[in-house]
Chain A
Amino acid sequence: MNKYDVIVIGGGHAGCEAAAASSRFGASTVLVTHQAGTIGEMSCNPAIGGLGKGHLVREIDALDGLMGHVADAGGIQFRILNKSKGPAVQGPRAQVDRKLYKAAMQTAIASCENLSVLEGGVKDLILEAGRVIGVVLSDGEKLLTGAVVLTTGTFLRGLIHIGEQRIPAGRFGEQPSIALSDRLYDQSLTMGRLKTGTPPRLNGQTINWDELIEQPGDNPPVPFSSLTDKITNPQICCHITHTNSHTHDIIRENLDRAPIYSGQIESTGPRYCPSIEDKIVRFQDRTSHQIFLEPESLDNSVIYPNGISTSLPEDVQKAYVRSIKGLENAEILQPGYAIEYDFVDARELFPTLENRKLPGLFCAGQINGTTGYEEAAGQGLIAGINAALLASGLGSDQQSREFILSRTDAYLGVMIDDLVRNGISEPYRMFTSRAEYRLKLRCDNADIRLTPKGQMVGCMGSKRMIWFADHARKLQVAGDLLHSLTLSPSEAKKSGLKLNQDGRQRSAFELLSYPDITWANLAELWPQMNEIEETIQKIIDVDARYAVYLDRQERDIKNYNKEQALKIPRDFDFSAVGGLSNEITQKLEAYQPLTLGQARRIDGITPAALMILIAHIKKSTPERSVKV
């Protein structure tokens, strides 16, 4: 029987990152997936990044993950969203050529050391004393392992709906995973069902492009990955069109044939990514919705119409598509559909993404109730590192066997904390507003925030480490320079900068925090500032502009971390804590918080309960306590 340190099930976005991270760590890893040819498949829209999601991609890149540079290799239009707002809430996004992306991902996977790819479906898990120790493939072959990462996306009992039609499938044309799902139910994991949808794909050659508004990308395109020098793909434009009242009439007339309204689908879909029929019902007063026509590849042959995802029957899809300007003759290549699938309750996971009920099993990606490639990839990365840590048996204590990012470190930390603490009631997607330390957790400083953490745990390639050492040094030198250059108000006045005439010397760094003073203004005074690289300039500039707020956030973070530092032992017996109400005890037992911070954010936990908890944790901390 073959034995691997880590087995990753599923070659989607989560699976690829998990497998790559585990192999970077040095663990012998196998990626088991239905078809090697669908590795890196984008099930839905041909785009990576966006608001919140772009942050995730930058963080994945900072931890030496794949998504950033693969998207750079596949990107055919790059845009920074929210340019009119501040840097903390700007998000990079790219249209991606589906084929280029897939090819780049497969190359990246192939070039990972210690990583092999095995084609096949996993139909069962092998358990021993309640632990997962291996998997069984559909052909009966067994593989043994130290840890399994399950990233089966929408495949667990996947069921596609197109109008009245129902097709068991994981994605269009792909078999679902039924046996595996049954196994998880058998292990009494709490499972639920969600749905998501995708729009019809259109033939680009049948669209009247001339009538439509063009939307170009940024020039020059800014790559996701810090290690990408330059985007070399030719860049394309997207186009914008709109639904109209006629479109809405067609959809309204056929609502009874839409599975979500006919009762055929009962599971919850994403509120912020509604199907077109949803939008018509919920926003009755709107007579028009915007649609982005996004090329799925450079040859422009397949178009993804972003904004009209649907599960209406094919004939209705055709009718409403053709009611839209520019799409009068559009040919549908593949109908839109909705898919229902099983997901596991992430509240049963540790923040390492290991399942509490099935030790040795890590879950990542859509299976945890999230939606989106970036969310999946981010979880995959964290689960992959933790699975490798567990399987390697390295680390003397619990802490060094875990790689957990906090809410104060990264969007990745925010996401996983949200998932394992609250679970989900609708598909979970990242937003910048989920991050309470948003001003600190920016795209521009992702490397500085996370690469050192990745280095500590040992999951970084040498190319990244060399780049980072240089980057960190430049940042340090430039920061020192800006703090050392100083100016008195009267000198500033001579140079045309308006300051309080209080006689106080201010550093260049301080001066940058004034709304009307720019880097260029100061570089006139101190030409050496122009010698600093632009990416470095930007990080320092933003830090300076946010300084007042960042200082305050830093204080909040300190408080938060202090509290966070109080760990609740894994086997802590909440029922033995006197003075807690039954309701609170039950909640604590259900959520099994690992830190006081987690306990605090459980719904309904009172300050008094927390204090009682603190007292008991302190008393039950075993080291050095005196038994009487």
Chain B
Amino acid sequence: MVRSGPKPGLEGKMSVLNDTIFALASASGRAGVAVLRISGPKSESVIEQLSGSPVQPRQATLRLLRDPSSSDPIDRALLCWFPAPKSFTGEDIVEIHSHGSQAVVAKLLSVLASFDDFRLAEPGEFARRAFENGKMDLTSIEGLADLINAETQGQRRQALRQSEGALGKLYESWREHILTASALIEAMIDFSDEEDIIESVEVQVLEIVRELHGSITDHLESAGRRGEQMRDGFRMVIAGAPNVGKSSLLNVLAKREAAIVTSEPGTTRDIIEVHLIISGFPVLVMDTAGIRETTGAVEQEGIKRAFERLSDADLVLWLIDPQQSNEDTSILTSIGDALGPEQVWRILSKADLRENDPEDLPKEIDLAISSKTNEGISVLIEKIERLLGAQQGLQSSPLITRARHRIEVVAAQNALSTFMTGSFDEAELRAEDLRQAANALGRLTGRIDVEELLGKIFGEFCIGK
């Protein structure tokens, strides 16, 4: 077989298959074992250079490794040799399973780097070589990337949905609208000498473009936010006056003592974050300092931070203690104004202390809970689940999940904006605007610059994968 060859016409860092590449394949940091992976034509030479004699293929062999320049011992490690083509990349691969000390790993990497034609692998380069040597097809590589990246079931679903083409269909339908508009303009340009002179298409084309521009803008704004929520977590902030039971609620939700609870108002001073997964959605729950007028510098800082978190919250759980009746509602109102009222839930805390019928709630209150008896907690969680579920269900138009998508959608949007502000006297430039927009969307759906796409896909991998 052809093990490696020059790659005509392709510059770029990853292109030199003649190199032998190496990288730490396990997570960095202190660990019991570290795995270094070496792939390429000269991998095999590593075995003799480090351990003095060859090893059997596909058998783990324990050896003392030495720095060949000084003969200093480095570590006692397992060596595995996978001769080509039966290896992950299809090239000769050597794996070194050393002790997971940072010092050992650093030493091994520097020794490897000193060998001729050896270099540190680029992100995704092992997978890319596997692909180029026919060991993996593209779909399995994409699947691998998604698998590596997905943390929750929701993210997994989103990836699946995207891979099944929901996003592609949306972009393709936009592209078709653009092509319709293009066809009208092109006809105006190319058939103006014919007898049946095309009547002014300006109004018609402008209408198509305006509508499309609107859809794209909506997609970028609304869907963009939800895509981020899925990627970075849904941001839920527990807030309210001091001593209303915020930290107690956090602890109940987290099912552990994440925050300190005392009967003293002003206990919580800084933001306390807990990561939860609710309905497959990553949720970041934040407990904040109770909001009140205060002179204490530490507490003031805590309140300032609470406000910061409130300002970009996806959901606020605003707790109200029934016993603190004289509460200042102006803060609550201003938060509701800033975020939108449906993003702020008013929750009556310490429901166990109330005498009234649990059903009988003041009308501005959304629900009542008790962190002590767990009353209302399951109702609260269900309500959150419903919201998150609705967020996902809302994805009739799928989400932008990758920077690459956003860049192209924005490019299309810009081209359409130029179109709308430009003059029809320069019909060829307007046609060009539409072509740019269609190309941008085309790159998303498949008419793409292949090299660039390759780079993007393999760039999603971290080094050593």
A interface residues (Cβ-Cβ under 8 A, vs B): 50-52, 81-82, 84-86, 88-89, 91, 93, 272, 283, 286, 289-292, 307, 431-433, 436, 438-439, 515, 546, 549, 552-553, 556, 559, 562-563, 565-567, 578-579, 596, 600, 606-608, 610-612, 614-616, 618-621, 623-628
Contact = CB atoms under 8 A, between A and B. Distances in A.
Contacts of A578: 134
B196 A289 contact: yes
13 contacts: A292-B195, A433-B190, A439-B429, A579-B137, A607-B450, A608-B138, A612-B134, A618-B10, A619-B2, A621-B8, A625-B4, A626-B41, A628-B2
A278 to B, nearest CB: 12
B5 A559 contact: no
Contact of B84 (A289, A611, A628): A628
Given A607-B453, A628-B84, A85 B446 contact: no
Given A621-B5, A624-B5, A625-B2, A611 B450 contact: yes
Contacts of A563: 449-451
B28 interface: no
B115 interface: no
Interface in B411-430: 423, 425-429
Contacts of B9: 562, 565-566
B439 A611 contact: no
B190 A52 contact: yes
B131 to A, nearest CB: 6
Interface residues of B, number: 48
Nearest to A624: B6
Interface in B24-64: 41
Contact of B132 (A272, A567, A615): A615
Contacts of B449: 559, 562-563
B428 A88 contact: yes
B3 interface: yes
B186 A565 contact: no
Contact of B139 (A289, A608, A625): A608
B8 A566 contact: yes
Interface string B431-458: 1100110010000001111111110000
Contact of B192 (A82, A438, A559): A82
B237 to A, nearest CB: 42
Contact of A556 (B5, B138, B439): B439
B189 A618 contact: no
Interface string B191-229: 111111000000000000000000000000000000000
B190 A432 contact: yes
B133 interface: yes
Contacts of B432: 438-439, 549, 553
Contacts of B131: 611, 615
Given A85-B192, A91-B193, A624-B6, 9 more contacts: A86-B425, A86-B429, A283-B196, A290-B196, A579-B134, A596-B450, A625-B3, A626-B3, A626-B4
Minimum-distance CB pairs A-B, first 7: A290-B195, A625-B5, A565-B9, A433-B186, A608-B138, A615-B132, A431-B190
B92 to A, nearest CB: 10
Contacts of A621: 5-8
Nearest to A286: B196
B138 A611 contact: yes
Given A566-B9, A612-B137, A606 B451 contact: no
A626 B450 contact: no
Contacts of A91: 193
B260 interface: no
Contact of A81 (B192, B195, B453): B192
A86 B426 contact: yes
Nearest to B454: A611
A46 to B, nearest CB: 16
Contacts of B427: 85-86, 89
B1 interface: yes
A51 B431 contact: no
Contacts of A433: 186, 189-190, 431
A610 B138 CA distance: 10
Interface string B129-156: 0011110011100000000000000000
Nearest to B138: A608
B189 A51 contact: yes
A612 B138 contact: yes
A552 B415 CA distance: 12
A26 to B, nearest CB: 32
A552 B138 contact: no
Nearest to B132: A615
Q: Which of A91, A433, A614, A625 has the most CB of B within 10 A?
A: A433
A439 B428 contact: yes
Given A579-B134, A619-B132, A566 B5 contact: no
Contacts of B428: 85-86, 88-89, 432, 438-439
A277 to B, nearest CB: 15
Contact of A614 (B6, B186, B454): B454
Given A549-B432, A614-B454, A628-B84, A619 B192 contact: no
Nearest to A606: B446
B2 A626 contact: yes
Contacts of B191: 51, 272
A563 B449 CA distance: 8
A567 B453 CA distance: 19
Contacts of B138: 607-608, 611-612
A89 B431 CA distance: 11
Contact of B450 (A85, A292, A431, A614): A614
A77 to B, nearest CB: 14
Contacts of B190: 51-52, 89, 431-433
A279 to B, nearest CB: 8
A337 B117 CA distance: 73
Given A611-B454, A625-B4, A628-B84, A82 B436 contact: no
Nearest to A306: B195
B54 to A, nearest CB: 18
Nearest to A292: B195
Given A433-B190, A619-B2, A549 B134 contact: no
Given A433-B431, A611-B450, A628-B84, A619 B196 contact: no
A359 B2 CA distance: 31
Nearest to A619: B2
Contacts of B425: 84-86
